[in-house]
Amino acid sequence: MTTPTPPRASHHAPAQRSRRRSAKASPPPEPSQQRSRPRPRISLRTACRDWTSALPDLRKLLPPAARAAFAAGAARCAALSGATGPAEIAITLSDDAEVRDLNRDWRGKDKPTNVLSFPGLEGAMAALLPPEAPRPLGDIILAFETCRVEAEEQGKPLADHARHLVVHGVLHLLGYDHEEDAEAEEMEALETMVLAGLGIPDPYGADPYGETRA
């Protein structure tokens, strides 16, 4: 993992507690803009075997979700300005114990959470690199037990919830946040747009999986 910076470590609150959106997501970038941006390299490390047991196809599910979020939100990222080299994002699938330790050490909260994002390269540091150099955007770490419980409580597949949290984490690495209402509305709208492209219902809607539950 890259060395996290405490003030920028971010987490994601459960969807039911989130604000409702009124903002619209930004339209997808033009094809010419997409071609000029570096393609992301997504590394996926499984530190908790429960993830593999619960989601045997996780390597087919999570990296595409990360790439979709990157494509939708990369224009916001100052570290990518003028870059032609690849962006790098590291995803770790871990457990509550490790995430609790990280949450305590870097956010001062002695409890597990579903996902933590640790931005890596800042815009000022990126400006010192040659354009073709890789841009390590940071790390995302998910806690299995918390993610599983949340998925069960919200009546959604764990695969959908994990992909949502990966999308959320990538947007944090790109500079999006949800501390203020306007920021939260913009970020949630963009998440919903990305997830729709992956065939996942709006996680902030009222009972998005209601029609499929018994």
The response to whether 12 counts as a known ligand-binding position is no
The response to whether 164 counts as a known ligand-binding position is no
The response to whether 168 counts as a known ligand-binding position is yes
Q: How many CA atoms lie within 13 A of 197 on its CB side?
A: 16
Long-range Cβ pairs for the range 187-192 (8 Å, 24+)? 188/18, 188/19, 188/21, 188/23, 189/21, 189/23, 189/24, 189/25, 190/25, 190/26, 190/72, 190/73, 191/69, 191/164, 191/167, 192/21, 192/25
Annotated binding-site ranges for Zn(2+): 168, 172, 178
> Which residues contribute to the annotated binding site?
168, 172, 178
